[in-house]
Amino acid sequence: DIVLTQSPGTLSLSPGERATLSCRASQSVTNNYLAWYQQKPGQAPSLLIYTASNRASGIPDRFSGSGSGTDFTLTISRLEPEDFAVYYCQQYGGSPPYTFGQGTRVEL
Amino acid sequence: QVQLQESGPGLVKPSETLSLTCIVSGASIDKSNYYWGWIRQPPGKGLEWIGHIYYRGTTDYNPSLNNRVTVSVDTSRNQFSLKLNSVTAADTAVYYCARPYGGYILSWGQGTLVTVSS
């Protein structure tokens, strides 16, 4: 199985600052099939990015994804108050099981 | 817009079978070229993909669950189900039903907490 390692575990920032989240895979992710999700307390995750860099419908352009192979990044250009949450990456390349990273908490 | 809603017992005894159902609205489960799946999240922890079923019946499961999982579709009720047998405390989690699209998750249910305890 592909293991995804997210860093840092926690990111302490202020509104208006830039957030850079990393997701590293134990082996190359097929076709860069890597997604990012945001999860707020008590809620289900919601899709932000798919195939490494494609924003899901309705996602603001301050969210961007980049990377390929084994190294991927989610960038939030200017943090809004509603962006403080936990972020997960997920790989879905090749055969299941599809795996998730352990999450990065973006906190105030 | 597809909406998903989990239902089932919130408490299951160790060694018994966890059974959950996901009611689908906004799409016909047997007429859509969709996958339907389950993901879980132990309290305070990360996400684990459990498995999914293609609308025509093909399934894929997480091998880490040691063949304890069955996902099935009930087209007459427009819902799909999860069964996880021989549960232990390690299976305590929030269980989400989900609609994968090519592997990433487009739609999520709100989640239901299932506690394994005697």
DSSP assignment string, B39-69 = EEE-TTS--EEEEEEETTS-EEE-GGGTT-E
| Mode of pairing for the β-strands spanning A71-76 and B104-108 | unpaired
| Contact: B104, A96; criterion CB under 8 Å | no
**Residues from chain B contacting residue A43 (CB–CB below 8 Å):** 110
pLDDT category at A105 given cuts 50, 70, 90 is very high
Other CB atoms within 10 A of residue A78 CB: 12
| Contact: B102, A33; criterion CB under 8 Å | yes
Q: How close, in Å, is residue A102 to chain B by CA atoms? A: 5
Q: What pLDDT, on a 0 to 100 scale, did the predictor assign at position B1? A: 84
Q: CB of A88 within 8 Å of any CB in chain B?
A: yes
Q: What pLDDT, on a 0 to 100 scale, did the predictor assign at position A19? A: 98
Q: What pLDDT, on a 0 to 100 scale, did the predictor assign at position B56? A: 79
| B6-63 pLDDT, tens digit each | 999 999 999 999 999 999 999 888 876 789 999 999 999 999 999 999 877 889 999 9
**Residues from chain A contacting residue B108 (CB–CB below 8 Å):** 44-46
Pairwise CA distance, residues B115 & B99, whole Å = 24
pLDDT category at A58 given cuts 50, 70, 90 is very high
Q: What pLDDT, on a 0 to 100 scale, did the predictor assign at position B21? A: 98
Residue among A33, A93, A98 whose CB faces B49 most closely: A98
Pairwise CA distance, residues A67 & A79, whole Å = 21
According to DSSP, residue A56 is labeled P
| Contact: B108, A93; criterion CB under 8 Å | no
Residue among A33, A93, A100 whose CB faces B46 most closely: A100
Q: What pLDDT, on a 0 to 100 scale, did the predictor assign at position A33? A: 97
CA–CA–CA angle B74, B80, B81 (5° rounding)? 110
Q: What pLDDT, on a 0 to 100 scale, did the predictor assign at position B57? A: 83
Residue of B nearest to A45 (CA): B108
Q: What pLDDT, on a 0 to 100 scale, did the predictor assign at position B92? A: 98
| B64-84 pLDDT, tens digit each | 998 999 999 998 999 999 999
Q: What pLDDT, on a 0 to 100 scale, did the predictor assign at position A70? A: 97
Q: What pLDDT, on a 0 to 100 scale, did the predictor assign at position B102? A: 83
Provide the phi-psi class of B107: left if phi over 0, else alpha when psi is between -120 and 50, else beta.
Answer: beta
One-letter amino acid at A78 equals R
**Residues from chain B contacting residue A1 (CB–CB below 8 Å):** 64
Q: What pLDDT, on a 0 to 100 scale, did the predictor assign at position A99? A: 95
Least confident window among A85-94, B53-62, B80-89 = B53-62
Q: CB of A97 within 8 Å of any CB in chain B?
A: yes
**pLDDT value at A30 more than 90:** yes
Q: CB of A53 within 8 Å of any CB in chain B?
A: no
Q: What pLDDT, on a 0 to 100 scale, did the predictor assign at position A97? A: 87
Other CB atoms within 10 A of residue A1 CB: 14
pLDDT category at B4 given cuts 50, 70, 90 is very high
Q: What does the block give as tokens for A80?
A: 């809004």
